[in-house]
Amino acid sequence: MAHELFQAHGLIRYSFGFDRAVRRAGQCDYQARRITLSKHFVVTSSIEQVQQVLLHEIAHALAGQQAGHGKIWKQKATEIGYRHEKLDGKEVAKNSAKYVGLCPGSHEHYRMRKPTRALSCKLCSPRFSANHLISWQES
């Protein structure tokens, strides 16, 4: 699908691959001319979500590094069918996390592996606090 989309939108001399990121869905490496998607993201998301992230990254490749997420990138992205839906790192972490933890203050925490020691919620208390321990559940 990546290569089809590259072709359809005139992106040439770019390669595609997977990476192991947990906190973001995709990345565009301008120097290496390579777009990668998080494996975790791909296996836990719908084809449509994956396509949207690909379009997001393709727009980066087409608009160039300087464009950032500015006007030129936005225009390009819209042009090729990116819907600008919010898919932030938290959402990706949530989708791919194996363990979901809840503190007494109801903050959610995500981990790929079950933590081996007691963790307290940093949002409730910046220092370790036995009163704000997170309890983990397999998701």
Residues making contact with Zn ion (CB under 5 A) = 103, 105, 107, 121, 123-124
The H or E element spanning position 3 is: helix 2-8
Q: How far is the CB of 44 from Zn ion (least distance, A)?
A: 19
Q: How far is the CB of 134 from Zn ion (least distance, A)?
A: 8
Q: How far is the CB of 100 from Zn ion (least distance, A)?
A: 13
Nearer to Zn ion, 52 or 95 (CB): 52
Number of H-type helices and E-type strands within the chain? 5, 6
Q: Give residue number: closest CB to Zn ion.
A: 121
Nearer to Zn ion, 54 or 121 (CB): 121
Nearer to Zn ion, 22 or 28 (CB): 28
Residues 104, 39: Cα–Cα separation, whole Å:
32
3-state DSSP: the chain helix, strand, coil percent, rounded to 5? 40, 20, 40
Q: At what angle do helices 71-79 and 47-63 cross, to 10 degrees?
A: 130
Nearer to Zn ion, 17 or 89 (CB): 89
